[in-house]
Each structure stands twice: as structure tokens, then as C-alpha cells.
Amino acid sequence: MSQVLYRKYRMQNFDELVGQDHISTILKNAVKKDSLSHAYLFTGSRGTGKTSTARILVKAVNCLDPSGDGNPCNKCEFCKAITAGRFLDLIEIDAASNRGIEQIRDLKEKIEFSPAEGKYKVYIIDEVHMLTNEAFNALLKTLEEPPKHVILILATTDVHKLPPTILSRCQRYDFRLGGEDEIRDLLKSIAKKEKIKISKEGLNILVHNAKGSFRDALSLLDVVYSGQIESEKPDEISENEIRHILGIPDSTMVYYLLEKIVLNDKIAALEMINEIDRKGVNLQQFAKYTILMLREILVQKMQNKLNEEEYSFAKDLSTSEIITLINHFIIAERNLKNSSLPILEFEMIIGRVNMGECIKEERKVKKKPQKEKVKEKEDKVVESKVSTKKSKLDVEKIKKDWKILTNKIKPANGHLFAFLESANVLNFDRGKLSMEVPFQFHKDRIEDPKSREAVAIVCREVFGECFAYECVVNGKMASKKRAEAAVILRKESNKKVQKPKSKKNSSKDVEDIFKDM
């Protein structure tokens, strides 16, 4: 069995510690000057290097050939034994499973014995906050007056649970979470050593989901790499594959669920949630990404810089309404961890939230005549644009120039562009194009009368004629295709939309179609 990445690339000296320079510098100087404390407290979030630092310190104080800067040599007998986990004078205790007073009494009895082979006998007590009150009391005397040959290193993720009497007897070091650049550089370095190719967008997903934990970042890389074993190119990892393996939703799902909730279209919102659940999307991840999108909208709103092209559904929302939505999804995300029926958490949000009525009514008033008449009128416009002559096109020609068509729609409507870009062209028969999409809401958007009119305009420019089309929802489409829309949308949102240089450019006509949407 191959070794997991976070163990294979565990830091072996103080200089290799990532993001903890404020700690490594002090510990190196302490070793170099032989001014060691008898008790250390390492505190911080999981995966920040607490246990690794403790082991490096054990090496440094017992190394047979230490370097002049306080680092261990990692070549002598003792260093190799510590790395391999067979050094007799390193005793690691997991307080989560050995939390009683008996274990601490046993430690107190054995601590008096001299080191078996090294200079110092070192005890590492991990998750020390799990000890009972009796165990803490038994540990106090040892922390106060330990033998000169003993060093105690306590590690915890919950320092606030430790008694003040313990805290006052230790030299404390706070480990911080890694910054995005630090996590990204670490992943790039490991990927290079393992000869793994990973896309920039995929790397960003791993960095975001690591949440500052160096160990979690490597664990995630391990998971997605292992998931590629059956792939044709297991050493090349794309963003779409990472989303599929980790169960991360694409942003278009989040966007359209929020749109339906804001417009108070409860039926459509419930249908979307059911479809997302059927597709096996991780609902907890979905809730997190919804919160992130709402956070971005909230920040833009407060700065009066809302990107209305990217978040058109939010332009009439107040900051208090956005905060209300965020609170609902935060509660749902918290409850999902222990929920026996996860989908219910989302259904309750849809049932509770009642915003958007005013927005909905305003838009209804603007649409004159009524919806049914508008649809009839728009359908006739589209039909008039579609050529009634026998088509000279074939499916291969359409597939070949499909990219040209979608790129001409891009400046006017990024979401329609994204859906068309990720659709699969199936066949072209009797002047009608068939294509498949992964979700019903993709089909609804592409087949919307305004979308048909826009496509008709661009079709005439690209192919010299227009044609009808229909979409088929295929839930078994590759995850790669299902996620492409999100990739395209994110890329486009970061670019400034270029205005057409020539009046002959069809994108201006397409823009006019979507003005009131």
C-alpha cells in the first residue's frame, strides 16, 4: 500500500515548516542556545503542524550531529529512529483515548527513569484538552517540577478547554492556519514531486476546501489523485473531475436556486432541489457554496458595486434580505451534519423564505401584454427568423462551428453562452437540431423564447440560415459536461465585456433581446 501524501511529505526540520516561521525561529534559537523549556503547549487548528513540530523538536534535542542553526541532521541513528517511530525515548499519548487519571499516574511513575538512549525523554500528549479534571490535577505536579531529562509537549486544538493552572506552567506557541498562497505553493510543490498535473481552477478548489489546513490540503490532493486511477489520464486532474470526486456543486446550480427563491417561485425551487438530490450532489457542500455566493453578493451590495450581469437576481434585494438568506443557509449547513433527511433542510428554507414578491410583481407589470401573449408573440418572431427552405447543413458542420456560435452569444448573455457551450450536439434532422443537457433548468433556459430568438440571429450569421432546436435532459451525462457551465461562467465574470466594434456584429442585436430579462 502506498503511503498517503501528508505522511510521505511530513516536515522533517524547522525550515520545512510551512506558515509557522514565528515558531520555528524561536525553537531553533532555543535548541542552539540550549535554553529549552521543560513544558511546551502547541495550540492551533488541525493540520497546522503541531505534532510534526513536536517531533522535529524531539530530533533537535537528541540529534547526535545537530547543525549549527538548531536543526536536526536527519541522518544520524537517533533522527532516523524518530522518523521511523522507533525511538525509545519518544512517548506519544493520545489523550482522546487515554484521558483518565490512571494513564497520568502511569506517566508519573515512568517519567523518573532516565532516557534509554537519547539525551532527553520527551512526552507528547496530543489532544490534551480531552483529559479529565482528575487527570489534569495529577499532571500539575509533573509540569511544575519535571526531572531535568524530561520535556513535556502538550498539543491541542481547543486551548480554551485547558485549566489556567496548566496554561501557566507551559511555554505556549500558537500555530496559525495557512494562507491561500501558502497552501497553493505547498500543493504545487507536492504535485510536481509526484508528477501530477492539475489545472489552475482545480488547484483553487483544493486550496479553498483545505480551509487553511496543510494536512487537509494534501489529503484532498490524495483523494482526487486516487480517484483518477481508473481514468485514461490519471496524472492529469481537471477542475470538473475534482468537483465530481469531492461532490462539489457547480455555481450554476447555486445561482438558479437562489434566483427561484428570490422570485418566490417555490415550485421551481423545490423541483431544483429534488433534481440536485437525485444527481447525488453533496448537499452540505451545496449549502457552503450557496453561503459563499451570498457573501460575495452581500459584500458587493455594501460597496455599491454589485455585478448585475453576474447576479441579476440580486439587484433589487436589500442587504437585510441577503443577510436573512445567509442566516437560513448557515442554519441548514449546520443541521445537515446530523440530519437523517438532508433534503428537508432545503425544503424548509424554501417554505420559510417569502421574499421577492414585490420584485416579481414589478416584473409582471413591465411585461406587456400578459405572459401568455408575450410568449406567443416571441414564438412567432423566432419562427419568422427560422428558414423554411430545405437546409444545407449537417450535424458535422454544426459541431465544427458550434464554438463560433456560442462565442457570438457570449458578450450578450454569459449564462446562455455557458449552457450552450456545455451542451452536447446530438443530431440534425429535417432542419431541427437535437442536443442534450444535464439538468432541466439548462433545458428551460436554452428553450426560453428570448434564447431562441438570440440563437436564431447568431445562426443566420454563422451558418447563413436558422434552424429549430430542442433539448433532451440526460442525467447520465459525464460530470465533466455538467460542471463546464460553472467553469465558463467564472472565467467570463472576471473579464470585462467588450463592446462590439462594428454595427454588423450580431452581439448588439442579441444584447437588445435580453435587456428586460
Written as tens digits, the pLDDT of the chain (517 aa) is 467 888 888 889 998 888 898 999 999 999 998 889 999 999 999 889 999 999 999 999 999 988 888 899 999 999 999 999 899 999 998 888 877 788 888 888 888 888 888 899 999 999 999 988 888 888 888 888 888 899 999 999 999 999 999 999 999 999 999 888 999 999 999 988 888 888 888 888 888 888 888 888 888 888 888 766 555 565 677 777 787 777 676 677 888 889 889 888 888 889 888 888 887 778 888 888 899 899 999 999 999 888 887 788 888 888 888 998 999 999 998 888 888 888 888 888 888 887 655 444 444 444 444 444 545 555 454 544 454 556 678 888 888 888 888 888 887 777 788 888 878 889 988 888 899 988 888 888 888 888 888 888 888 888 888 888 999 888 766 444 444 444 444 554 454 444 444 445 666 666 666 655 5
What's the structural domain count of the chain?
A: 4
Q: Is 474 exposed, middle or buried (0-12, 13-18, 19+ CB in 10 A)?
A: middle
- Reduced to 3 states (helix: H, G, I; strand: E, B; else coil), residue 438 is coil
Spatial CB neighbours of 207, under 8 Å, sequence gap ≥ 6: 180, 183, 184, 187, 217
Question: Any idea what DSSP says for residue 371?
Answer: H
Are 73 and 66 within 8 A, CB to CB? yes
73 and 116 in a single domain? The answer is yes
In a domain, 98, yes or no: yes
In a domain, 115, yes or no: yes
220 and 278 in a single domain? The answer is no
Helices (H) and strands (E) in the chain, counts: 24, 10
Within a 10 A sphere around the Cβ of 360, how many other Cβ atoms?
A: 14
CA triple 190-246-269, angle to 5 deg: 145
In a domain, 372, yes or no: no
Alpha-helical runs (H) found in 423-515 = 440-446, 449-463, 479-493, 506-513
Question: Considering the entire predicted model, what is its pTM?
Answer: 0.59
In a domain, 283, yes or no: yes
146 and 79 in a single domain? The answer is yes
170 and 25 in a single domain? The answer is yes
Cell of 491: 472565467
Are 87 and 118 within 8 A, CB to CB? yes
Collect contacts of 270-277 with beta carbons under 8 A, ≥24 apart: 270/347, 270/350, 271/440, 272/441, 273/343, 273/346, 273/347, 273/350, 274/343, 275/439, 275/440, 275/441, 276/249, 277/342, 277/343
Q: What pLDDT score does 1 carry?
A: 40
Q: What pLDDT score does 360 carry?
A: 46
Q: What pLDDT score does 517 carry?
A: 54
Q: Is the peptide bond before 449 cis (omega within 30 degrees of 0)?
A: no
* CATH number of the domain that residue 209 is part of: 1.10.8.60
**How many angstroms separate the CA atoms of 27 and 347, rounded?**
53
23 and 171 in a single domain? The answer is yes
459 and 324 in a single domain? The answer is no
> Which residues in 279-318 are b (16+ Cβ under 10 Å) and which e?
eebbbbbbbbbbbebbeebbebbeeeebeeebbebbeebe
Q: Could you give the angle at which helices 200-210 and 239-246 cross, rounded to 10 degrees?
A: 30
Task: Tell me how far apart the terminal alpha carbons of the chain are, to the nearest angstrom.
Answer: 56
Are 12 and 56 within 8 A, CB to CB? yes
Q: Say which amino acid occupies 151.
A: I
* CATH number of the domain that residue 497 is part of: 3.30.300.180
**How many angstroms separate the CA atoms of 42 and 171, rounded?**
9
Are 207 and 73 within 8 A, CB to CB? no
Q: What pLDDT score does 516 carry?
A: 52
Collect contacts of 197-200 with beta carbons under 8 A, ≥24 apart: 197/235, 197/236, 197/237, 198/236, 198/237, 199/237, 199/238, 199/239
Of 345, 362, 379, the domain-final residue: 362
Q: Cα–Cα distances in Å, from 184 out to 209, 210, 243? A: 11, 10, 17
**How many angstroms separate the CA atoms of 79 and 85, rounded?**
10
Of 324, 345, 362, the domain-final residue: 362
285 and 428 in a single domain? The answer is no
Enclosing H/E stretch for 432: strand 432-437
417 and 492 in a single domain? The answer is yes
In a domain, 380, yes or no: no
Q: What pLDDT score does 316 carry?
A: 86
Q: Could you give the angle at which helices 479-493 and 251-262 cross, rounded to 10 degrees?
A: 70
Q: What pLDDT score does 499 carry?
A: 43
Of 306, 328, 362, the domain-final residue: 362
Cell of 239: 477542475
Cell of 65: 550531529
Within a 10 A sphere around the Cβ of 430, how many other Cβ atoms?
A: 8
Spatial CB neighbours of 452, under 8 Å, sequence gap ≥ 6: 378, 379, 382, 469
**Residue 490's domain spans which residues?**
387-513
